[in-house]
Amino acid sequence: MLAEKIAARDHRSLARAATWIENRRPEAEPLLRELFPRTGHAMIVGVTGAPGAGKSTLCDQLTEKLRADRKTVGVIAVDPTSPYTGGAILGDRIRMQRHHSDPGVFIRSMATRGWLGGLAAATTEMTMLLDAAGFDTVLVETVGVGQDEVEIARLADVTLVVLVPGMGDDVQAIKAGIMEIADVFVINKADQPGAEKLERELKSYLALSHRADGWSPTIVQTVASDGKGIAAVIAAALEYHARGSSRARAAEIWALRLREMLRERLLDRLPESEFAARGKEVAERRRDPYSILHEWLERI
Ligand SMILES: Nc1nc2c(ncn2[C@@H]2O[C@H](COP(=O)(O)OP(=O)(O)O)[C@@H](O)[C@H]2O)c(=O)[nH]1
Ligand SMILES: [Mg+2]
């Protein structure tokens, strides 16, 4: 019946299942298997960018606008830079509080302390949960700082990359990895000087780059804190989604997800202490790393 309650978007059941996923509890897998046939309908939107770019503010405004359009919204905030009781997540909670009494919105911050990889797998499972629950749109906010987070954003149907003018944040300085995954560029804080310059730089960058799917990423200027440009961001995301590129990419996305899930399963078979103990043996030259790998693979 838990699956039924989740399909009915019961918030308490959703929160319970989310905790199972987060804590890697064995109950999560049978539940997600049961829910899987219900998935595949949500538009998953990855939102990434540097800390402070305005991703949470943007997600809050997108949620507001989507609700006004009678769409239900799930939000997953993945922020490995914040300790789980710390600033950013707490701030996000407060910011998103106005949606908390709305049954059409479910917001979950993922506690990411102590994760050694596996974040992409857990985020995938979290999106499956909210997709199965019937949310029309699922926003996944990740901090675009490391490879992991870029990877998570890439697993979405539509990826928004949030940039801000000034701050030496010109196109050259932006990490290459994040430029390539953008389906839509959001130039947020367009109320600050430099937005036009950044847009020009982005355009000349895009003129030189070609995507296999022929899509030229949309650029939208926003002032998330004032709700400006939000409708245009949604329109751009929907346009990209509607042309079916993400459906064509679905097999590729699932191939990546399966790889992450396998990695996660394999690592779960070994306790952390095992890595520490074997690491010590190798460091002291008592064993070679390959004999340990063979032993592990046989055991698994
Ligand atoms: N001036 C200005 N400030 C903004 C804008 N959007 C967000 N902010 C502020 O930027 C700060 C960081 O925003 P936040 O959404 O937490 O960024 P995140 O770390 O990317 O999630 C907050 O103080 C926001 O109020 C904007 O469009 N213009
Ligand atoms: Mg944030």
pLDDT digits (tens, 9 = 90+) for 211-235: 888 899 999 999 999 999 999 999 9
Q: What letter does residue 158 receive in the DSSP assignment?
A: E
pLDDT tens profile 45-59: 999 988 889 999 999
Torsion angle of the four alpha carbons 152, 153, 157, 160, in this order, in degrees rounded to the nearest 10 = 170
CA–centroid distance, residue 140 to ligand 1 (Å): 17
DSSP H helix total and E strand total for the chain: 14, 7
Closest CA to 183 of 215, 210, 145, 206: 215
pLDDT tens profile 138-152: 999 987 666 666 777
- Contact of 240 with 183, CB cutoff 8 Å: yes
235 C-beta neighbours (distance < 10 Å), count: 13
Instruction: Indicate the top mutation candidate among 55, 57, 107, 187 to test ligand 1's pocket, ranked by most ligand atoms within 8 A of CB.
Output: 57
Which residue is closest in CA terms to ligand 1's atom 1?
A: 189
Backbone angles phi, psi at 237, to 5 degrees: -65, -45
Of all ligands present, the nearest one to the C-alpha of 228 is 1
Q: Which two tokens mark 256?
A: 């990546």
Residue 86 pLDDT more than 50? no
- Contact of 92 with 77, CB cutoff 8 Å: yes
More confident residue, 115 or 220: 220
Q: What CA–CA distance (Å, rounded) separates 3 from 17? A: 9
- Contact of 125 with 25, CB cutoff 8 Å: no
Which residue type, as a one-letter code, is found at position 225? S
User: Which residue in the block uniquely carries the two structure tokens 């540097």?
Assistant: 50
- Contact of 190 with 222, CB cutoff 8 Å: yes
More confident residue, 184 or 249: 184
Q: What domains lie within the chain, and their CATH numbers?
A: 37-249 (3.40.50.300)
What atom in ligand 1 is closest to the CA of residue 49? 20
Q: What CA–CA distance (Å, rounded) separates 66 from 231? A: 9
